[in-house]
Structure formats: structure tokens, C-alpha cells
A = this chain, B = another copy of it.
Amino acid sequence: MSEHEEKYNVNLLGSDEQALRLSRLKELMRRAGIVDAIVRDNADIYYLTGRVFRGYIYINVERDLPLYFVKQPNHLYSEPAELLYRIRKPEDIAPALAALGIETSMPALELDSISYTEASRLRKSFGATEAQPDISPVMRGARSVKTAAEQEMLRRSGAKQTLVYERIPQLYSEGMTDIELQIEIERASRLEGCLGQFRVAGPDMELFMGNVLTGDNADTPSPYDFAMGGEGLDPSIPVGANGTMIKPGMPVMVDVNGNYNGYMTDMTRMYIAGDIPAEAERANELSAAICEQLAAMMTPGAKAADLYARALQMASEAGMEEYFMGHRSHAGFVGHGVGIEVNEAPVIAPRSRDILADGNVIALEPKFVIPGLGAVGVENTYIVHADRAAEVITTARTAISLLD
């Protein structure tokens, strides 16, 4: 086979791993009364095949294997061959399914992310009057429980992210601004293998490589639904570092991209140049204590809302409720699932109805924004296990590190 005939299998997961993911997905589809679905989100395509291609995956609860409808790239094939179809446009899927004898009225779509235009085109091609049902919550549920292989990917990202965080004190030099330190952390992350890409669900979230906050900037509300805000460098992307000089005694919060292999961990640590103010140390210890307490509660069956309540209670008992998850504006959650995207299920929030399950991977980030001091807090990513305590996979020391 010449170099230019090189072919790559569309399913990079291997058949066992893909079957595991599919069986859980199909179980949730059955429970939701959904017979079949078409997914097209890059994150969902990556989940089901271990790669990104341009096209669609058709899943039917009655069929063992999915069908791939591929627009790009053209060098993909599948084993067995009859699973893969070349298409030019979404309207090509319905007749292809009909030709295969697969009867369907309207496959479920990812209605939370697919554009109105594309959903309507698919709906019309199936001759349906409504683009229903919705596979979005089902995919979200399936992806929230990580397989052993996914957990291993996350452990590997966590280990690399930890290596980079441990190197941060050496990246600092006196006179740096928040963004200058962030740029050195970005470079160190990339050299360690960070892919950079920061996948988020939903149209409202934009962030480049992460967030480095120091001083009052931490208290500037941003339009994005992240735990912390920041003015940013420009009103076109108003979040994060804004060029504040890092001053002695002023806490620096580092929360940067942990995507080293398609699965991302989420970790936050504190750094200070010069003496550590007692107030910062106290807030950081409280944050670490909340993480530890919540981690001890993170067993299958635990209620996400109870975890949030416990975190708030601990903040409140320490007299820190006013600063909990922000000051001028408060984030509505203290933790969130992570995986292919940074904002997965479950959500650890006051009115969340999520129940924890074996295999959830959850980032906890009880943070405080203290006027005159800035943002303080740690964040760790944990794997929820049925047979043992939640496993922390972001293992840099939680104490505030000295920058000099």
C-alpha cells in the first residue's frame, strides 16, 4: 500500500471499548424511550470512535454497531466495511437508511447543540414534522460515567498537568504581569504535550488556555459561566488575566488547560511572591478542606445538591459565605463533571438533581474572592468509585506555593 493509499479505521477505540460505551448509551436510550439517534458533535463523535471526523453517527438500540456517515476525511474506512457511507450532505442519510431497510420516523438529534438549520434539514429529509426526540441529555448522561479506559486517559492528563503545575514557581520572574506568567505556563503545558484545545459544551463559553487571576481582577464579573471571571485583555474575550502586575503578597490563582489527550482534568493552585498573608492561607486551607470533605462524600448515590450544601455550610461556618464562589457575582456551582469537555455532568449546584455514579469524574473548585486580596482556592479532579474512596487525579500539593 503506497503512502497515498494509507487508510485509517474510523473506530480507534477497539471493538470492546466501543461496545462498552455503546451498551451504556443504548441502555439510557431505552430508558428514555429513544429508538435511534444521529449524533454529529465533535465531542460525541470522539466519544464513540476515539477520533474526530466530519459527518454523523447513527445509533439504533436494536443494532449492534453504529453506522458512520462520513463527509471528511476520505481516508477513513470501517471494519466491517458496510458500516461506513460517504455522504455529501445531511439529506443523504435518510435515503441511505431506507436503502438498508432500517425503518425510522425521526432519529433523535443533539438538540442542545445542533443548529436550527441543520436540525431542520435532517427533520425534513426524514419527512418528520418535529425534530424530536432529543439525544442531548442522554449523551450527556452516558458520557458522565467514564469507562476504565477513559479514567486512565484522565489519570494521564492529571499526571501531566501536575508536572506542569509543580514547575510554575520556576516560570515566574519578578516584575511579571499575570498574563506574562500565564504565557510561560501555556508554553510549559504545550511542551509537556497539552493539546491546547479547550472543549466546552454550549455556545456561551469561550476561554483560551485557562485563567490566571491576581488581585482585584478576580472580582470582575465575566459573561462566561466559569467559576471565576476576570476582565481579560480585551472586551472581545472578557475573561481572565488583564495585565495586572504580580505583587508580593498578592495571591495568584492558576487554573489552566489540562487537555493532554482529548480528556481534560481541571486543577487550580495558588502561588504567591513574597510573604503569604494569613488570610490567603486560611482561605486556601478552607478550600482544601472543603475539597477533602466533599471528596469523602463522593460515593455512588450521593446527591450533588447535598455536596453543594455541605460546601456552602463549611464556607458559612468559617464566616466566608460572602466570598464563596465570587464576591461581586457568584458562580452557581462548586463542581462539575469533566472529560472530553470541561463542563460535563454531574453539576454540583444547589438545585442540581444529579446523583453521583461509579465512574463520574468531577472537578471540585470551592473558591473565594476576597476584596483587596483576590481569588483564593484549590481545584481538584476526582474519580468516583463504587468500591473505594474518590480518587484524586490532580496531585500537586494544595498548599500555596512561593513564586520566588
Residues of A within 8 A of B (CB): 3-4, 12, 40-42, 46, 50-54, 71-75, 109, 111-117, 119-120, 131, 134, 136, 179-180, 183-184, 186-187, 190-191, 193, 195-197, 203-204, 206, 208-209, 216, 219, 221-225, 229, 233-238, 261-262, 327-329, 340, 371
A237 to B197, Cβ gap below 8 A?
yes
A54 to B190, Cβ gap below 8 A?
no
Of the A-B pairs whose beta carbons lie under 8 Å apart in the complex, a sample of 10, sorted by A's number, is A52-B238, A54-B204, A71-B223, A72-B221, A72-B222, A73-B222, A114-B116, A115-B203, A117-B136, A197-B208
Neighbour of A224 across the interface among B54, B261, B329, CB < 8 A: B54
Least Cβ distance of A292 to chain B in Å?
31
Once the chains are docked, how many angstroms separate the CA of A236 from the CA of B120? 28
A-B residue pairs, 3 tightest by C-beta? A236-B262, A196-B208, A73-B221
Once the chains are docked, how many angstroms separate the CA of A53 from the CA of B232? 13
Once the chains are docked, how many angstroms separate the CA of A183 from the CA of B318? 43
Known: A73-B221, A112-B115, A116-B114. A237 touches B195 (CB 8 A): yes
Least Cβ distance of A163 to chain B in Å?
16
B235 to A50, Cβ gap below 8 A?
yes
A234 to B221, Cβ gap below 8 A?
no
A12 to B235, Cβ gap below 8 A?
yes
B74 to A329, Cβ gap below 8 A?
yes
Report chain B residues within 8 Å CB of A111. 115-117, 120
Least Cβ distance of A51 to chain B in Å?
4
Closest to A46 in B: B236
Once the chains are docked, how many angstroms separate the CA of A224 from the CA of B71? 10
Closest to A114 in B: B116
Report chain B residues within 8 Å CB of A119. 116
Report chain B residues within 8 Å CB of A193. 233
B116 to A109, Cβ gap below 8 A?
yes
Once the chains are docked, how many angstroms separate the CA of A193 from the CA of B234? 10
Beyond A46-B236, A52-B235, A195-B233, 18 extra complex contacts between A and B, CB < 8 Å:
A4-B327, A4-B371, A42-B206, A50-B235, A52-B223, A52-B237, A52-B238, A54-B224, A72-B223, A73-B229, A74-B221, A75-B328, A111-B116, A113-B115, A114-B203, A115-B116, A196-B209, A197-B206
Once the chains are docked, how many angstroms separate the CA of A3 from the CA of B195? 38
Report chain B residues within 8 Å CB of A112. 115-117
Neighbour of A41 across the interface among B74, B113, B203, CB < 8 A: B203
Neighbour of A329 across the interface among B73, B197, B208, B216, CB < 8 A: B73
